[in-house]
Amino acid sequence: GSVVAPSLAVRLTPEEKNTVSVFQKAKEGVVFITNLTNRQDLFTLDLKEIPQGAGSGFVWDDQGHIVTNFHVIKGASDVQITFQDQKVKHGRVVGYDEDRDIAILQVDEEALDAGSRSVEADTVGLGLGPPASIKGDKARGGTNSGAEAQKGGLGGNADGIAKPLPRGSSELLVVGQRVYAIGNPFGLDHTLTQGIVSGLGREITSGTGRPIYDVIQTDAAINPGNSGGPLLDSEGNVVGINTAIYSSTGTSAGVGFAIPIDPINLFVDQILKYGRVTQPILGISFAPDQLVDELGIEGILVLNAIEGGPASKAGMQATTRDSFGRLVLGDIVVGINGTECKNSSDLYRVLNKLAVGDVVSLSIIRGNSKQAIDVTLMDSNTVIPRISLQSALTAEDLGDFGDDEP
């Protein structure tokens, strides 16, 4: 007679059962994002939308917002979002922050019919086809018309609604903790990989060159197409957004990175409210760290305090020249809110956790004395650089290029 295979529940270890449970609960909230661009046909001169890249994202809330990486949708003329049940919908860019590689999309309620889909490839240049499940859906002529399309929602469960993924806290992560990455690497939709937190407090560079701090390092396989997808803890809570791999070949080499969820909560709230991330600034320009080191100074040498800016209003003194043309060093910032400030990275690290309107206490060295001044942070868009060429020292005066604090 035939042998009855033991039930799945019996064969799985407790750890495997938890892994299966995490994936089953999260998969409906993870989406496949296709970046489309307009290209002109060489023969007909007609404009056509073709895929120029793709990635992942996840459902943020019940209002149809999707969070992903900015570089996933950069330069797109249109964005298509494919859900776990293969519903494909248009996405509208609500706002983004290129410095932090975060973007928010709004899902259009109407599902696209099969004829208007453009999900033809995952990442340009890889030579790979679309996700197998999308191919199959297209072969069947699509299932997104009629009564199913009238359900609205985001796609997903029987009610046509993809539930937002629960969010955890990246601050509570520890090295060695198990994590899971869900995304669409190489067009293989809804792929689960697992690993551990390999490191915390890492620093990577965004597309604009600005550093992103406190990044999570993991050995969970992260490949092209995973960008924008969630990094989950063992309870299925989002603790980060997968964003990059560190590899010379462009494929996973055991070192992947995710932007922590705690600051993302603040950024998303600001984008939904203002359409962008409000950037708190001190309103100063300062000498490059390398040059300050060569001068034997430890701290941030203020070259200029922008007129009307926070630092200027607080009385911060800039670097100038006296009547004989000799350099008169300005204030040197050595601490902010009780945290030692040896270089610009230390300053950025603290400012990234603050908001417009916060009052910061700066420890400065002025001449031979150490002082403390309070500065009320302002939005970068409200501070227009107005530098007096007669009195303000520029970076070129020091033989290098200064840094404008963002």
- Residue 150 Cα to chain centre, angstroms: 33
What's the CA gap between 284 and 395, in Å, rounded?
Answer: 12
Whether 122 sits among the annotated catalytic residues: the reply is: no
Can you read off the two tokens belonging to residue 87? 């519903």
Residue type, 246: Y
In sequence order, the 6+-apart residues with CB closer than 8 A to the CB of 202 are 214, 215, 216, 217, 257
Round to whole Å and give the CA distance between 8 and 6.
6
Q: Which two tokens stand for residue 393?
A: 């020292």
393 near 319, Cβ under 8 Å? yes
- Whether 264 and 289 have beta carbons less than 8 Å apart is answered as no
Please, are residues 103 and 72 in contact by the beta-carbon 8 Å criterion? yes
DSSP assignment of 191-217 equals EEEEEEEEEEEEEEE-TTS-EEEEEEE
CA of residue 346 relative to chain centroid, distance = 20
| Longest Cα–Cα distance in the chain | 104
Q: Does residue 195 contact residue 252 with C-beta atoms inside 8 Å? A: no
Residue 366 CA to chain centroid, in angstroms?
A: 38
- Residues 283, 305: Cα–Cα separation, whole Å: 6
Q: Which of 56, 65, 71, 97 is the catalytic position?
A: 71
Told to judge if 227 belongs to the known catalytic residues of this protein, a careful annotator would answer yes
Catalytic pick from 56, 170, 198, 227? 227
Catalytic residue from among 85, 99, 101, 219? 101
Q: Is 190 a catalytic residue?
A: no
Length of the chain: 406
Strands 332-336 and 300-305 come out as: antiparallel
- Which are the catalytic amino acids? 71, 101, 227
